[in-house]
Chain A
Amino acid sequence: MTQLALVIDLNVCVGCHACVTSCKEWNTSGWAGPMVDQDPYGASPTGTFFNRVQTFEVGTFPNTETVHFPKSCLHCEEPPCVPVCPTGASYKREDNGVVLVDYDKCIGCKYCSWACPYGAREVDAEQKVMKKCTLCIDRITDAKLSERDRKPACVLACPAGARLFGDVHDPDSEVSVAIREHGGYQLMPEWGTKPSNHYLPRQKARMHIDPDELTRVDNPLRKEDLTSYTGEETLDDVAW
């Protein structure tokens, strides 16, 4: 079984929102589009987005750090939004585990958005159907694209390389190795939704340097010699 998913490295994300804009650009002009924009140049712009970057501050000033937190559908292995859908418009693809909405069947009742603890679904104000991240299903399943391009738009756009994409069920995939070796975790594990997307935690880069590494005890080129001599034999007298 394949389960495609994203792995997002919070240690790398710089909060530039490139994934947000590339997602909107690709999807508004593709299979999932258009994605409405309301009042885009006014005081209170709003619209449909599959991906957002939020920012959190950890700790109290001055001991704070900033966490940029990209947030999109997690493509749960036990998606709670699917069984509640009265029409069957919401479904999980058998072949690759991507959770999708059939826009031709959705009645826009919003019930699935209630049944998602992550707030990953939203109603498109224009088309009046539920929309959410598709993992760029029209890109990743397009055999005409080269292997390199067969990835979600957000992954290709990320300038820092904070987003990995792959099969989390394949233990040797890049994403599985990253989860395994860098402490990848799931959001709100308490609900048993088994999100497929994982996040890699913030890690402080710390380096321990011994004084020995800065100053060699027996450095022959050392000029500084603080010993005060009073005529006794020194190392220079016995060595040649």
Chain B
Amino acid sequence: MHPAFSVILLTTLIGAGQGLYLAMVTGQLYAIARFLPLQKDQFYALGSLVALVMLVAGLGASFFHLGRPERAWRAASKWKTSWLSREVIALPLVMFLVFAYALAHLMEWTEPLFRVGQSLDVDVTLLLGLLGTLASFALYVCTAMIYAGVKFLEEWHTPLTVTNFIFFGAASGFMLAAAYSAYVGNPLVTFFGTWAAILTLVALVSRVAHLARNARIKHKSTIQTAIGVRHTVLTQRAQGATGGSFNTREFFHGRSDRTLGLVRALYLILVFPVPILLIGAAYVTESSTLPILAFAVQFLGLLLERWSFFAEARHPQNLYYQSVA
């Protein structure tokens, strides 16, 4: 598949945005359970607003993928059958809940509404946080299922695509939370950094499993089933177009296998070991810049990872365009 930069940006930005928001809610939950010191409301509010900026930026990038962006509102109509439509509904919902969560903290709507059990005071921020968490996970699933749901793209048609999207998003979000905490000088940087390292390792397991699966993949369709001629030697002599077509542009990345291998090696380094080492070094040296660098490196790596994710997928229609493949 041809990796579209707009979609690469959309998926990485909203993934990290949701992750940052989940990190803020996690921080609040830990504080409620008294595992962590309670932070000022501004801390959660500002973090959520940064998450909101990432979500808005991702949404903005997605419009560049559309031929007719002015009609984008129509995309919410077929939610019963289309994962793309479900994402179009889930994304604004998450954005609204993230904004409401930030607003509730900013306005300090922290009067307990009711009490659960002995000591759990439930206020508006907690309710919004829980709703936003559910919506964020739903959005991760919707985004990933756009790719995992297309059975023809067999490299994507696996639950591992969904776990990749969830763990990559959460890891980069927690990494961003650590960077944000470091930037504002909040001691939670260690907490977020630890979770970021754990989630990065889980994402590594998921992605390596995905790579291993795809390395052994056996495609359903062959050139024989594509044109229905039973012969072992079938050579394409003409593709029907002199200067290429949509079919030769949309479904091919146009790079060499060497470039593909290089990008894979690069993202495996940039997404996994480097940020973990940087976060570790930040913990030892108590540096406030290293976590920011860790996030920047990981996000750059994720852009390459997403490029690779698209480039690796081989569409069955490519069988009709043999001389491009």
Residues of A in contact with B (beta carbons under 8 Å apart): 20, 39, 42-49, 52-60, 66-67, 69, 71, 80, 83-89, 105-111, 113-119, 122-123, 127-129, 185-191, 199, 201-202
Contact = CB atoms under 8 A, between A and B. Distances in A.
Contacts of B220: 190-191
Interface string B205-247: 0000000000000001100011111010111111111111111
Interface of B: 1, 65-69, 71-72, 74-78, 81-85, 88, 146, 149-153, 220-221, 225-229, 231, 233-247, 250-251, 315-318, 320-321
Contacts of A186: 228
A117 B68 contact: no
Contact of B82 (A56, A83, A129, A185): A83
Nearest to B89: A86
A58 B233 contact: yes
15 contacts: A44-B244, A46-B243, A52-B241, A57-B236, A58-B234, A71-B320, A84-B150, A106-B68, A114-B150, A115-B150, A122-B247, A128-B67, A185-B228, A187-B228, A199-B228
A122 B77 CA distance: 22
Q: Which of A49, A86, A115 has the most CB of B within 10 A?
A: A86
B245 A117 contact: no
Given A54-B239, A54-B320, A105 B84 contact: no
Contacts of B88: 86
A123 B241 CA distance: 16
A89 B237 CA distance: 35
Given A44-B244, A107-B67, A187-B228, 5 more contacts: A53-B238, A105-B71, A106-B67, A111-B146, A185-B228
Contacts of A129: 67-68
Q: List the 8 closest pairs (A to B, CB-CB), nearest first.
A: A108-B67, A128-B67, A119-B317, A52-B240, A44-B243, A122-B246, A86-B85, A83-B81
B226 A122 contact: no
Q: B72, B151, B240, B315 — which one has the most chain A CB atoms within 10 A of its CB?
A: B240
B1 to A, nearest CB: 8
A133 to B, nearest CB: 14
B238 A109 contact: no
Nearest to A51: B240
Contacts of A128: 67-68
Contacts of B240: 20, 49, 52-54, 71
A57 B234 contact: yes
Nearest to B219: A190
Contacts of B151: 80, 191
B150 A187 contact: no
Contact of B225 (A49, A106, A122, A187): A187
Contact of B78 (A69, A86, A116, A127): A86
Contacts of B244: 44, 46
B152 A44 contact: no
A54 B236 contact: yes
Contacts of A123: 67, 246, 250
B68 A84 contact: no
A109 B317 CA distance: 18
Given A80-B152, A86-B84, A187-B228, A54 B75 contact: no
Nearest to B239: A54
B203 to A, nearest CB: 25
Contacts of B65: 109-110
A59 B233 contact: yes
Nearest to A202: B229
Contact of B227 (A53, A67, A119, A127): A67
Contact of A190 (B1, B77, B149, B221): B221
A37 to B, nearest CB: 11
A113 B318 CA distance: 12
B248 to A, nearest CB: 9
Nearest to A55: B238
B159 to A, nearest CB: 19
B318 to A, nearest CB: 8
Contact of B84 (A55, A109, A116, A187): A109
Given A66-B237, A188-B226, A107 B315 contact: no
B239 to A, nearest CB: 6
Contacts of A57: 234-237
A189 B68 CA distance: 34
B56 to A, nearest CB: 19
A95 to B, nearest CB: 21
Given A53-B240, A111-B84, A122-B245, A86 B76 contact: yes
A86 B82 contact: yes
A113 B82 CA distance: 14
A138 B247 CA distance: 26
Contacts of A89: 74
Q: Taking each of A42, A45, A84, which has the highest tally of chain B beta carbons within 10 Å of its own beta carbon?
A: A84
Contacts of B321: 119
A117 B251 CA distance: 11
B245 A46 contact: yes
Contacts of B67: 106-110, 123, 127-129
A49 B245 contact: yes
